[in-house]
């Protein structure tokens, strides 16, 4: 940390308070005094007012990561820092000094899950030692969008290796490259999902925003466990070009932040058609995802909540204590809550479909990269047998995938059929009860349903359990309903003010 930066601490604290008043962002005492918990809106305001530089901000996060990720509680949320971050920050500061601003992300550090290609010195490994070698030649489409908007790629976040597909049953948040990630709220508790490092890093104050990916719960689950805001868009809203795949029929990038507004601002940047990803051709463009954010956005809304799921694995749900509190808040904000029963279609072939699709799509990605130790699924399996890592974990899922007797067309057919059934099940309730959206707690069923349908979802904090673990609410709705979901989530966020910062215990 520079001497100049230390001299500015009091001025920065004052500026955060001013920025809070200007933006209307609800925040705790921590975010008003600690730079590491400031939002993008606050940080952007400070830089615009010449109270903070991008270089100082990068230095601050570098020191915090050194203190808490590498040492102390050793969260292991970060696998690699960008050696060019200070250089990039300097260039962006020079632009600002010349009167140029690229927008609210100008000079803002962002962390990327370790499955986004970056055309710099950073590795893109999906957490696997088998992928460490030559960095990618090109930025992923969404990474280029972030750079063009002035964001600084601070580094790569740890993840469950191969998006939890090396061997199902391994600890969440573990990778051969990054080790075992931890939940900053409760170090011995579940970190959850393959975007675990991206969520834990934002919760711990290592960066204000990060990118993750989701195939099935890999943003929603870590957002819930780590007490941050995770947004999974409609499938096709964000490009997947340059992202290590499971399957494009289910994969999507998504955001991890500490405020709804920050997530909406990221959506403003990450929307847009990519000629190399046909799914983006039908997505809406040019939307301001912050436009509907208002304290009274829940007024008059009809929101369904799952009281039961019927069909395969049917269950009656009993709302937990924190969700009951959330429901009261929603009603006080003017929403009408409607109990619904959602049909659970047959899902027996879903995992085999994903495995069958990845068996073909992963090798296509591998051959697009040069200088790697592996070029095929068999190469990966052979590498892991010779280099199992210090924990000695297995790779049963990868081996089963390699042995699977299924064509790509057969796998795609299974996924598309199941996805349509889940779309129909959600649409049926929205239509029958004239709903604007649905809300649930982290019951697993709702998250799975929205993910398989390819529908958008916003997860955000609802409080803490009796044993100090974050709890969450989960808004989801029909395709392309992100603006409305953001608005409802924002109204709930402002009324509930349930964001908590971690204790690192």
Catalytically active residues are 113, 194, 218
Beta-bridged to residue 460, according to DSSP, are 473
The β-bridge partners of 109 are: 152
DSSP letters, 180-233, are E---TTSTTS---STTHHHHHHHHTTS-SEEEEEESSSTTHHHHHHHTSEEEEP
* Burial (CB count <10 Å: 0-12, 13-18, 19+), residue 275: exposed
**Dihedral angle computed from the Cα positions of residues 240, 245, 250 and 256, in that order, rounded to the nearest 10 degrees:** -60
Give the integer Cα–Cα distance in Å for 339 and 326: 15
Residues 6+ away with beta carbon under 8 Å from 28: 37, 497, 499, 500, 501
Q: Are strands 78-81 and 315-316 parallel, antiparallel or unpaired?
A: unpaired
Q: What are the residues facing 340 on neighbouring strands?
A: 306
From the centroid of its chain, how far is CA 394?
Answer: 27
The Cβ of residue 28 has, within 10 Å, a number of other Cβ atoms equal to: 14
User: What three-state secondary structure class fits 116?
Assistant: strand
3-state secondary structure of 315: strand
What is the DSSP code string of 430-444?
Answer: HHHTT-SEEEEES-S
Q: What is the CA radius of gyration of the chain?
A: 22
Q: For 326-374, where are the E strands, in sequence order? A: 336-344
Please name which of 220, 250, 262 lies closest in space to residue 460, comparing C-alpha atoms. 220
- How many angstroms separate the CA atoms of 238 and 256, rounded? 14
Residue 268: which of 125, 121, 146 has the closest Cα? 146
Residue 349, classified by CB atoms within 10 Å of its CB into exposed (0-12), middle (13-18) or buried (19+), is middle
Q: DSSP H helical segments within 227-349, as ranges?
A: 260-270, 321-332
């Amino acid at each position: 940390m520079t001497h100049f930066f230390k001299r500015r601490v009091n001025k920065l604290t004052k500026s955060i308070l001013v920025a809070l008043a200007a933006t209307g962002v609800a925040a705790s005492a921590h975010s008003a005094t600690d730079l590491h918990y400031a939002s993008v809106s606050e940080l952007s305001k400070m830089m615009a007012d010449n109270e903070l530089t991008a270089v100082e901000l990068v230095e601050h996060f570098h020191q915090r990561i050194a203190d808490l990720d590498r040492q102390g509680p050793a969260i292991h949320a970060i696998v690699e820092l960008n050696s060019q971050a200070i250089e990039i920050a300097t260039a962006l500061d020079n632009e600002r000094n010349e009167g140029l601003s690229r927008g609210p992300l100008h000079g803002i550090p962002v962390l990327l899950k370790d499955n986004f290609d970056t055309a710099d010195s950073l590795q893109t490994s999906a957490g696997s030692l088998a992928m460490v070698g030559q960095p990618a030649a090109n930025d992923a489409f969404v990474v280029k969008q972030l750079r063009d908007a002035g964001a600084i790629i601070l580094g790569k976040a740890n993840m469950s290796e191969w998006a939890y597909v090396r061997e199902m049953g391994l600890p969440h948040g573990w990778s051969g490259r990054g080790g075992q990630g931890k939940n900053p709220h409760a170090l011995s508790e579940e970190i959850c999902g393959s975007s675990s490092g991206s969520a834990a890093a934002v919760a711990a104050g290592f960066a204000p925003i990060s990118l993750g990916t989701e195939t099935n719960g890999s943003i929603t689950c870590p957002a819930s466990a780590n007490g941050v805001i995770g947004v999974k868009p409609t499938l096709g809203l964000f490009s997947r070009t340059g992202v290590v795949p499971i399957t494009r029929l289910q994969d999507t990038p998504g955001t991890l932040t500490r405020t709804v507004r920050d997530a909406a601002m990221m959506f403003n940047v990450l929307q847009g058609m990519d000629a190399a990803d046909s799914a983006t051709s039908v997505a809406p463009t040019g939307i301001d995802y912050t436009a509907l954010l208002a304290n009274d956005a829940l007024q008059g809304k009809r929101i369904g909540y799952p009281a039961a799921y019927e069909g395969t694995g049917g269950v009656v749900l009993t709302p937990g204590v924190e969700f009951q509190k959330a429901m009261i808040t929603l009603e006080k904000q003017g929403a009408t809550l409607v109990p619904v029963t959602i049909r659970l279609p047959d899902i027996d072939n879903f995992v085999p479909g994903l495995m069958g699709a990845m068996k073909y799509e992963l090798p296509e990605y591998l051959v697009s990269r040069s200088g790697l130790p592996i070029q095929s699924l068999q190469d990966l399996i052979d590498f892991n047998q010779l280099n199992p890592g210090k924990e000695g974990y297995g790779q049963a899922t990868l081996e089963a995938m390699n042995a699977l007797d299924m064509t790509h067309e057969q796998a795609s057919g299974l996924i598309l059929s199941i996805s349509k059934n889940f779309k129909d099940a959600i649409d049926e309730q929205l239509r029958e009860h004239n709903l604007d959206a649905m809300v649930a707690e982290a019951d697993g069923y709702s998250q799975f349903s929205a993910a398989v349908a390819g529908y958008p979802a916003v997860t955000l904090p609802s409080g803490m359990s009796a044993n100090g673990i974050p709890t969450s609410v989960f808004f989801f709705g029909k395709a392309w309903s992100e603006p409305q979901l953001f608005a409802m989530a924002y109204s709930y966020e402002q009324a509930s003010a349930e964001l908590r910062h971690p204790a690192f215990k």
